Amino acid sequence: MDIPSLILLFVICAIGAHFVLKWWWPIIKERKNLTPEQMIERALQAPVKCAQRDASKFGSPIKTLVIIVLNANFLYGWLWFSHRSIFVLWLGLAYLTVGFVVQHLVKVPSASEMIELNIWERFWLRIFYAWFWPVYVPYISLRK
């Protein structure tokens, strides 16, 4: 095997190990004197609980779906167009930078929205609000 194949194999194994540990970790962490039957029952319930939590991580399930779908489509479109023109790449980066500055001035998203999110989910939410920065520009003068 050549080096790129070994790296790809390592990445695939690491991703597989991540998902196996993610599925079994709640059982390992909470196995306080549980019988094997209870451990299996918890193992079967863990993915459902995780899916329910992930479905409403940005508030409601619909808001979560809108944020994920719009971000993915905007980023994919921007990267597809920027692949053809370096100007579009820099224009998009400038647009998002202005969006982050406007977010900081308006204090959007609120701290209550960000409190239960991990760092990647916070970044994803901030990108979502950065796409729509022209909506928040009028509120800059109204901030306290």
Kindly report the pTM of this predicted structure.
0.65
Give the pLDDT confidence score for residue 40 in this predicted structure. 77
- Based on the fold, state whether residues 82 and 67 are members of the same structural domain: yes
Distances (CA, A) of 17 to 3, 4, 14, 46: 21, 20, 5, 17
- Based on the fold, state whether residues 36 and 84 are members of the same structural domain: no
- Based on the fold, state whether residues 70 and 118 are members of the same structural domain: yes
Give the pLDDT confidence score for residue 130 in this predicted structure. 92
Gap between the terminal Cα atoms of the chain: 62
- Based on the fold, state whether residues 77 and 136 are members of the same structural domain: yes
- Based on the fold, state whether residues 72 and 120 are members of the same structural domain: yes
Range of the domain at 122: 58-144
Give the pLDDT confidence score for residue 27 in this predicted structure. 65
- Based on the fold, state whether residues 80 and 107 are members of the same structural domain: yes
Distances (CA, A) of 33 to 25, 37, 79, 116: 16, 12, 51, 30
At CA 48, angle to CA 45 and CA 52, rounded to 5?
140
The number of domains in the chain is: 2
* Residue ending a domain, choose from 17, 40, 55: 55
Residue in this structure with the two tokens 């050549």, named with its chain if needed: 2
Q: Is 21 exposed, middle or buried (0-12, 13-18, 19+ CB in 10 A)?
A: exposed
- Based on the fold, state whether residues 67 and 109 are members of the same structural domain: yes
Per-residue pLDDT of the chain (144 residues; tens, 9 = 90+): 688 788 888 989 998 888 888 777 766 666 667 777 877 787 778 778 777 888 888 888 898 889 999 999 999 999 888 888 899 999 999 999 999 999 888 888 887 888 888 888 889 999 999 999 998 888 877 765
- Based on the fold, state whether residues 26 and 64 are members of the same structural domain: no
